[in-house]
Structure 1
Amino acid sequence: MSYHVEKQCPKCGQMLRVPKNIGGKLMACPACGNKIISDFKFGGVRKQQGLARKIFELPGMMLQRLFNLLR
């Protein structure tokens, strides 16, 4: 099982290995120093995954409810 995904730096083209269990982290390409943000994932959150997911999704749910009320 692979514990990383490969991405290409948009600036220099260097292939980078990004761990799967992190998300939303700011990283720098080792070749050119370009700043890259990893994709957001819940992989690192184990015990309180349900709570973290609810907190993350709360603004979207509130906007959807507000939109439905205004219709």
Structure 2
Amino acid sequence: MKLEKGKIYDVLHEEWMEHNRAEYHSTRYRESDNEPLHDMIIRMVDGNLDMGSFFTKEVVGLSKTQEI
């Protein structure tokens, strides 16, 4: 799946996230094995925005709700 900057994607939910949506920002590659890490903007349970990194297998697909 090709991720587009600024689009909202459903991701695997973590307990520190308010919901399972994240806005794609960029991709970088882990030095040890060249695994892609997708940097995404997420909403934390306290309501603040933060950055999180997700593996490709953790990005489920384009979200129907385009807001974080």
Normalising by structure 1, we get a TM-score of: 0.27
Q: Which has the higher helix share?
A: 1
Structure scoring higher RCO (CA < 8 A, sep ≥ 6) equals 2
